A = this chain, B = another copy of it.
Amino acid sequence: MTVELDRYKAIDEEDIKYFINLLGEKRVFSGDDISEDLSHDELGGISKFPEVVVEVLNTEEVSRIVAYAYENNIPVVPRGAGTGLVGASVPVHGGIMINMCRMNKILELDEENLTLTVEPGVLLMDIGDFVKEYDLFYPPDPGEKSATIAGNINTNAGGMRAVKYGVTRDYVKGLELVLPTGEIVEVGGKVVKNSSGYNIKDLICGSEGTLAIVTKAILKLIPLPKESVSILAPFNNLSEAIGAVPNIVKSKTNPTSIEFMERDVILAAEEFLGKKFPDNTADAYLLLTFDGNSKEEVEEHYTSIANILLKEGALDILIADTDERKEAIWSARGAFLEAIKASTTEMDECDVCVPISKVAEFVNYTYKLQQEFDIRIKNFGHAGDGNLHVYILRDDKAEEEWNHKLSEVFRCMYDKSKELKGQVSGEHGIGYAKKQYLSGQLGEVSLDLLRRIKLAFDPKNILNPGKVCQ
């Protein structure tokens, strides 16, 4: 199956007039008025300006713009905070960018059904802060707190707490969607179980703005755990650290998160933040958190974990049970991406997810690649769920060498991931940048199925074209 691209209508004066008529002048931007920020995402590897940017305030506006785009064969791309890493929100075929950021109201907290209904542009950090006041908790915890909730939904963002609590998809109960025709539908709702027709909700989660535009989301909340503790365990090397993880997962201690980190990433974070990490003497660390409703429950769990860790070769157990100590650890963890970015000229990332029993093998393989290609590679990530964040650094390499090596290193890594029965992306998505690797992983039959699903939603292929499977 081939999809015809580049047969879209270019935006003209008529179109701009239509949008101004609909939204007023202040919410329509074209030409030089379009901010450079909107031409790329956080990692910036790919860039392209939209022909027009429209700022929307409600579902009806989204619907009318998309219906217009559908009728006139104009590509349309929804845009949130632009914190993506794979170019999913970059309008590679130009056209209309719908800036969703001003649809950022929290609409309803339902304390009986434990749901929060939000507009798509609400920021992740605002959700956590808001529900905390009601002694409630929205567990998904991706590193980038200034992402919008619809961005999180569209990448099915995971984050650190996935080990215990699952990923964004697990906390999306219902969605209001604008389909590529402009029609508005609702899927799911405030129900716990649902076996009523095909599961559109979970198909939209992770679809990177290519199947429908999320205009409202009903999120699941849970009671806020009262207590939490973090444990830092230094190890002689990363293999030993990661090797301990399957035994932790099998134990009945139910950790909230299990992160791994290496000394040089910690040193980079210390330098970047100008703050000391509690320990930087060991080569590798596991960082675990536990939460629960009583000090005793949490203590019981981390005590038994401490014993497991020591048996598995941990050199020490550092317990962070005060806000100050937790802050010292987690602010460093939160700064890893920025710290690595600041240490080089340019970088690209690989976000594979492998079975947790294969994490050590994959990380060791990246060491081998580092030597083989003479290129710096930095790892950190979620040992507890097998999702690695691997950064390949350009440093002072010339353009041609960088492009060549990056492409080779990526090829090796994704091949290795496939060999280990891993997946191309754990939480950052495919977008534009990872298409070839998804294609290599899936093969023609599956890829073709994805393309047919795309066309089932979007027969004219106007919604965020050129992404994921196209």
Contact = CB atoms under 8 A, between A and B. Distances in A.
A457 interface: yes
Contacts of A313: none
A56 interface: no
Contact of A386 (B193, B353, B382, B430): B193
B387 A114 contact: no
A30 interface: no
A442 interface: yes
Interface in A417-458: 421-430, 438, 441-443, 445-447, 449-450, 452-457
Contact of A196 (B110, B294, B424, B449): B424
B196 A205 contact: no
Interface of A: 110-114, 155-158, 162-163, 166-167, 169-170, 179, 183, 185, 187, 189-200, 202-203, 205-207, 211, 223, 225-226, 246, 249-252, 293-294, 296-297, 300, 351, 353-357, 382, 384-387, 421-430, 438, 441-443, 445-447, 449-450, 452-457, 468-469
Contacts of A156: 193-195, 199
A198 B193 contact: no
Contacts of A183: 445
A194 B456 contact: no
A197 to B, nearest CB: 5
The copy count of this chain in the complex is 2
9 contacts: A111-B246, A113-B246, A158-B195, A189-B422, A189-B423, A196-B424, A196-B441, A202-B203, A456-B456
Contact of A195 (B249, B428, B450, B453): B428
Nearest to A184: B445
Nearest to A134: B250
A207 B192 CA distance: 18
A197 B426 contact: no
Contacts of A293: 252
A54 to B, nearest CB: 23
B192 A386 contact: yes
Given A170-B170, A198-B203, A427-B195, A446 B185 contact: yes
Given A193-B382, A198-B453, 19 more contacts: A112-B250, A114-B250, A156-B195, A170-B170, A183-B445, A189-B421, A191-B355, A191-B421, A191-B422, A192-B356, A195-B351, A195-B428, A198-B203, A199-B202, A199-B203, A202-B203, A294-B300, A449-B457, A452-B457
